[in-house]
Structure 1
Amino acid sequence: MQIEIRQYEQRDAAQAAEIWNEVVEDGKAFPQMEKLDEVTGHAFFTEQTYTGVAYDAATDELVGLYILHPNNVGRCGHICNASYAVKKSVRGQHIGEKLVKHCIAQGKTCGFRVLQFNAVVKSNTGALALYKKLGFTQLGVIPGGFLNKDGEYEDIIPHYHVL
């Protein structure tokens, strides 16, 4: 598989929504509970500052995506936030790492100065290891900050990276 990353286009809407929905349905990482369809997905992905899609260059199949947008407004508008989703069938192949690295570069291009993750779930050990590897700084722990799909609350660990 030859993974490349490019900007989201309308033709990606169905595949991107499907990948996004896998993470939402898992209920272990995203705060969102509502699934997207092709129409709502396209609206959501285009309202972001940037949506990047990872695809297999040989097949043009989408295998992951990220959304990038301001974390706040006004005097804190230079801080961005992002979310990443990788298709279940190809997880563990460093696609998430490629997405995060691309996002860091794109964040700079968009004029942001800091990338902040508000809610990295404590049990998301793969993401925690990746963010450590890429030089993100942990900001502490918010006890019970995430409601898992099973109704249990779990700690979240905010992170940031200076761009």
Structure 2
Amino acid sequence: MEIREFTDADWVQVWPFFDEIVADGETYALPQGLTSERARQLWVDAPPWGTFVAVEDGVVLGTAKSGPNRPGAGSHVATASFMVSPAARGRGVGRALAEHVLAWAREEGFLAMQFNAVVETNTAAVALWQGLGFAIVGTVPQAFDHPEHGYVGLHVMHRLL
């Protein structure tokens, strides 16, 4: 598996699983019914952001984006978002993307990484982030309307780089 920077040509493969993940409503607080164009605008940002893909045999398995969590005085802390194609789950794609993004953020001079909204019922993601050294520094109760579990908390997770 290769992790590399996103190119415009990658979107045609990212869009189907992006759309599926948003539509299932379990992990992202993004509006339903996004067009491909609007979704791309939300996912792919100009520097100082970086957008990446995990690719194997020409197939995009997952994607990640990272950049400053806040502007100005908060810009030394990075944030990131990740999506793994449902067809590629359980193959280490999320971990590979996370390790790449952490190294990228460190190289870019960020001092820490903070995730603002990890859905508490997304136990695989929570376990991955904790395994990579992130701590839950707080949970916003009932901040996410999960389609199966109702209102659940959103974890704020953090680690120094």
For normalisation by structure 1, the TM-score amounts to: 0.89
Q: What is the match of residue 154 of structure 1? A: 152
Change in 2 beyond 3 A, CA 1:44/1:121: closer
Contact 1:27–1:33 (8 Å) recurs in 2: no
The superposition leaves residues 18-48 of structure 1 with CA deviations (integer Å, 9 ceiling, x where unpaired) of 2222221111111112455443344344325
Task: Point out 4+ residue stretches in structure 1 off by more than 3 angstroms.
Answer: 34-46
* Percent of aligned pairs sharing the same letter: 30
2:63 pairs with 1:40:
no
For normalisation by structure 2, the TM-score amounts to: 0.90
Q: What is the match of residue 54 of structure 2? A: 54
Which structure 1 residue ranges, 5 or more long, are not aligned?
A: none
What SS does structure 2 have at the residue aligned with 1:47?
Answer: coil
* Paired residue total: 159
Amino acid at match of 2:77: I
Q: What is the match of residue 106 of structure 2? A: 108
Change in 2 beyond 3 A, CA 1:90/1:142: same
Which structure 2 residue ranges, 5 or more long, are not aligned?
A: none
Q: What is the match of residue 120 of structure 1? A: 118
Change in 2 beyond 3 A, CA 1:43/1:143: closer
Change in 2 beyond 3 A, CA 1:83/1:29: same
Aligned-residue Cα RMSD (Å) equals: 1.7
